[in-house]
Structure 1
Amino acid sequence: MLPDRITRLQYSSGDLADQLFLSTSRAQVNMKTFLGLLIAFISVSGNENQEVILKGVSEQNILLPCSCSSRNLDKEVIWQIKETTVLHYQGNTSDVSASYEGRAEIFLTKNDSNCSLLLSNITLADQGMYKCNFHSTVYNQGYHHTEYNYAFIHLEVSVSYSICQKSGPGNDVNGNVRVFQCDVSRRHPEDRIDWQLDGQPLEKPSTTDATYIAPTGLHHLSSNLTMELNGNSEPKCVVKNPAISTSISYSCSKHTDPSIQDHTFVKSVVSSSVIVAVVLLLVFSLVLYHCQTSKRVTEEKRADVTTELWELNGSNHPKSKNLILVTAE
């Protein structure tokens, strides 16, 4: 009985081993299936890069960075702002939307791993959330698959203003009561001049005048502030706009009185017109004089030849006989 029992036990052990082997195989298959689904999910969902916030200035250029190492060269690269396509790149060919025509440039023709976008002459309409879309090839233990990648770049655009701040008219430099004047060219109707002292807004009343500058199409803002100074700090004027952010620089080299600008502009135009008219008149006079002189010289030569012929025919000059003989022959 004992051998039979041992045999049966051995047989039972073999069945158990087979069952364990089958269970292990199923687990491996399920694990591979799970890993495959996970890879597929990662490939579809993509890798989100950290959002980048950039600040640009209107009428200047800015680079939107996007590194695309291991990029799949057979796949497209798309730059978007919201749902609008800015640039579509595939097969060394770039298609740019109409609003970015001539202002959007990508560097993939020079570097396959640089999907950055250069925007030129940006405006307030260019600000917003940009998205860089591309595909990369990932190699892992002899296998490779394609991942969908994207990066977000938030662009904020400010408007640049050059402010001239100087002493105002009637200013008493030696006294505590001072007059300050601020001049700036206004680009938007909502622009206004505010005064600050040590970074804090002043409630002191100030006068602001706006003058239209015809040649530039801008409006000149001039603000005067009169206040008593109790310390070493002086007020500073700034440009405020509730709808946009502003970028301010201080310089008086390009600021002059608008009325002088207009007068100078008109004067230069009139002077140029007068100079052109005088030059044209001189050229016309020289041409007319040359024509009249040529005509007079020609007539004088004809008259001299005619007179000489008559004199030869009416005299006994040997030449006249020869002429008559030649004519007779």
Structure 2
Amino acid sequence: MKTFLAMLMVLIVSGDDKVVINGSIEDRVILPCPCPNRNLAEVLAWQMEEPNKEKVLVHHGNHSNYSDKYKNRAQLFQNGDKYNCSLLLTNITADDQGKYRCSFTHENMYNALFVHLNVSANFNLCQKTTNQVNDSLNRTECEVEGRYRDTEILWYLDQQLLTNSTTTKIIHNYTSKAAGSHTFTSEIITELTGKPICKVKAKGVPAVISELCPPEPWVRQPDNEMSCYRAYFKLIPIALVIGVSLVLLYRWKHSQGLRRHRQVKTNPFLP
């Protein structure tokens, strides 16, 4: 009976509380796993449980063995604190999303803590103003920038998904920028009435959208308006010359008047 109870104690799994960690593509996250007074002589292990079972690392003594998928991206905190079994994941991907298990031994009892990692993708979205192509066609453009490649732009009108048809034409383009940034553009030309709305779909992860449009570029004024501005600019120096001339003329006449006044006062023959 005592032997049975001892075996039962060894098989007890603790840590039913659900811990959820949220992260973004290419960010770093910490999967917490406090392990106070763990048995340092026993193995410490991290493993992905869902959606697929996959070893992350096995730590024994002072040595950690990482799987190829997590090598150079995962790091334990064991060097600083033997009783902190948390895991640092860097440059996270969509495949890192899932349920993880941290397992260790405490007083001859097996302990397991579970952490759920949610991964999202951040995007900047800019939908430009709808322009009228002709009496029956309207064109709308959408530009999306983010760091997740498996992404597409979808168009909706009145919550209905739009696709290429006899009344609608959709054109998609993609460019890759420096430092891992991706730009997706889409243009829709349609005969349908109403304003189409563009949305972002990221494969396997939720998309976090920030609607941000860059400032509109400076547009050159039409020639007729520019000619008016040029005429105004030509009149400015002419007006300045006329103004200065009038001031000088006024001062000259004023000085002549003062001179005649002095001559009248100093002439002894005048009554």
TM-score, structure 1 normalization: 0.51
Residue matched to 1:103: 73
Q: If you compute each CA radius of gyration, which structure gives the higher value, 1 or 2?
A: 1
2:31 to 47, 56, 64: 64
Unmatched segments (≥5 aa) in structure 2: 218-271
Distance 1:254 1:38, change over 3 A: farther
Residue matched to 1:246: 207
1:154 and 2:121 correspond: no
Alignment deviations for residues 13-59 of structure 1 (CA, whole Å, 9 cap, x no partner): xxxxxxxxxxxxxxxxxxxx45x633431222332432323332211
Q: What CA distance in whole angstroms lies between the structure 1 residues aligned with 2:205 and 2:215?
A: 24
Distance 1:204 1:91, change over 3 A: closer
Residue matched to 2:239: none
1:167 and 2:134 correspond: no
1:220 and 2:220 correspond: no
Identity %: 30
SS in 1 for 2:46: strand
Q: 1:204 offset after TM fit, Å?
A: 7.3
SS in 1 for 2:99: strand
SS in 2 for 1:184: strand
Q: 1:179 offset after TM fit, Å?
A: 7.0
Equivalent AA in structure 2 for residue 47 of structure 1: S
Question: How many residue pairs end up in the alignment?
Answer: 202
Q: What CA distance in whole angstroms lies between the structure 2 residues aligned with 1:185 and 1:98?
A: 30
- Do the aligned residues in 2 keep the contact of 1:208 with 1:221 (CA within 8 Å)? no
Q: What CA distance in whole angstroms lies between the structure 2 residues aligned with 1:180 and 1:215?
A: 24
Q: 1:122 offset after TM fit, Å?
A: 0.9
Q: Give me the CA root mean square deviation.
A: 3.5
Residue matched to 1:193: 154
Residue matched to 1:210: 172
Q: What CA distance in whole angstroms lies between the structure 2 residues aligned with 1:215 and 1:204?
A: 28
Residue matched to 2:103: 133
Q: 1:131 offset after TM fit, Å?
A: 1.0
Q: 1:118 offset after TM fit, Å?
A: 1.0
Alignment deviations for residues 141-194 of structure 1 (CA, whole Å, 9 cap, x no partner): xxxxx11100122223233322112323459xxxxxx97532125855662323
Q: 1:220 offset after TM fit, Å?
A: 2.8
Q: 1:120 offset after TM fit, Å?
A: 0.5
Equivalent AA in structure 2 for residue 222 of structure 1: S
Unmatched segments (≥5 aa) in structure 1: 1-32, 138-145, 172-177, 257-329
Q: What CA distance in whole angstroms lies between the structure 1 residues aligned with 2:160 and 2:86?
A: 44
- Do the aligned residues in 1 keep the contact of 2:94 with 2:204 (CA within 8 Å)? no
Distance 1:184 1:78, change over 3 A: same
Alignment deviations for residues 102-148 of structure 1 (CA, whole Å, 9 cap, x no partner): 100111221222211111011122222211011112xxxxxxxx111
* Structure holding more strand per residue: 2
- Do the aligned residues in 2 keep the contact of 1:193 with 1:223 (CA within 8 Å)? no
Distance 1:228 1:210, change over 3 A: closer
Q: What CA distance in whole angstroms lies between the structure 1 residues aligned with 2:101 and 2:61?
A: 20
Q: 1:212 offset after TM fit, Å?
A: 3.9
- Do the aligned residues in 2 keep the contact of 1:168 with 1:224 (CA within 8 Å)? no
SS in 2 for 1:43: helix
Distance 1:203 1:99, change over 3 A: closer
Q: What CA distance in whole angstroms lies between the structure 2 residues aligned with 1:218 and 1:65?
A: 32
- Do the aligned residues in 2 keep the contact of 1:191 with 1:239 (CA within 8 Å)? yes
Q: What CA distance in whole angstroms lies between the structure 1 residues aligned with 2:54 and 2:114?
A: 14
Equivalent AA in structure 2 for residue 59 of structure 1: E
Distance 1:210 1:52, change over 3 A: same
Q: What CA distance in whole angstroms lies between the structure 2 residues aligned with 1:100 and 1:128?
A: 14
- Do the aligned residues in 1 keep the contact of 2:150 with 2:203 (CA within 8 Å)? no
* Structure holding more helix per residue: 1
